[in-house]
Amino acid sequence: MQVGDTIYLDYQAATPLDDRVLRVMQAAFATHFANPHAADHVLGWRAAAAIDAAASKVAALFGLQADDVIFTSGASEANAMALNAARAIASQTGRTEVLIGSADHGSIRNEANSSRLTVKHIPLDERGAPDHDKLRAMISDETALVSVIGVNNENGAIAELAAIAALCRSCGVLFHADLAQAPLAMDINLLDLDIPFATISAHKLYGPKGIGALLTGPGVSEFVRPVVMGAGQQGGRRGGTMPTELIVGFGEACRLVSIDGPIERERIASIKDRFVEQLEEKQIANLVGARKDRHPGNALMHFQGQNAADLLARLQPHIAASTQSACSSGTMEPSHVLSAMGIDRGAASECIRFSFGRFSDFRQADRAIAFILNAVGMN
């Protein structure tokens, strides 16, 4: 995707709103403006029906039913609800320990650290994903919740979700997966994987910002605690008037991923691979992390000897990318993900994350290479 003079290579920070999603949202703004909780007239009923239809589309992408979807303001709120479940378990069972991935998203890390529970961090394996074997050794009778990021937002590593879910199930421990980045990287059936809690976000899959969901599997409803009480909407699981138009857009975005996902992932990976190959062949940068079991659009690159922030500044206005996760790139601290991978502060300051997506093409990738060559003085 190109916006004016800028090639957009920051899809893991936010995906552009797909025009097809925009159209269904525009129709919803025009026709479903009534309060979906207004039970006394037909316009309220129609808005509620539109939400139900969208919930079914969201659920279908993950092998669930509409009632398994709790809409939230985004993945951060859904992650907070998962930590609230850990608090509920702690109060019922006395288990006071939470295990989270060393490279998990800041919203999980910060929520866990403020939970008054004992927080331990799961080390990463050589791919930069949570280490399943080390997790096995960490789980104890004190563990209330294990939470891992399914597909990392910085290094693109895909976690062994099936193995981790099976381990947690065998140990009687609740499992939560942050799947915000996962729908564009892999097919996911939460029932088959037996993942009881999962977090998703619309703006990571070509939907609107401001809407996400906590997905719930069988037998965990007793642990759901809302962050927003409101007036008992969504069966008391999350209060507040439901934003019909955002939810309709979310549903359409999920429907499109369910149709195009596998073919789209293959195409995006081929564009990303050529971009990486050119940078490596010209000895400009090297890929950080594993080459397999990785988000198809993720290219976290190490530009040895180049300060990433300075290089990215020289690339403006030509390329939009990130020196680390956009959720934390405004800080002066090094990426906790790269630190957890054993990358020192100096090397971490030389890394840029480029991420490709639905509207990327080979021409944009080749033009981006040309801009990078010029920025590092090789043109």
Cα Rg of the chain (Å, integer)? 21
Report DSSP letters for 194-206, one per residue.
T-SEEEEEGGGTT
- Burial (CB count within 10 angstroms: exposed 0-12, middle 13-18, buried 19+), residue 10: buried
Express the helix, strand and coil content of the chain in percent, nearest 5 each. Answer: 45, 15, 40
- The length of the chain is 379
In whole angstroms, give the CA distance from residue 95 to residue 88.
10
In whole angstroms, give the CA distance from residue 85 to residue 92.
11
In whole angstroms, give the CA distance from residue 105 to residue 32.
34
In whole angstroms, give the CA distance from residue 312 to residue 223.
44
| Lookup result for tokens 């060559």 | 373
DSSP β-bridge partners for residue 215: 69, 198
Report DSSP letters for 306-373, one per residue.
S-HHHHHHHTTTTEE-BSS-TTTTTSSSPPHHHHHTT--HHHHTTEEEEE--TT--HHHHHHHHHHHH
Helix 19-31 and helix 244-281, axial crossing angle in degrees, nearest 10: 170
- Which member of 168, 171, 254, 327 is catalytic? 327
Reduce the DSSP state of residue 182 to 3 states and report it: helix
Look up 168 and say whether it is catalytic.
no
List the catalytic residues: 327
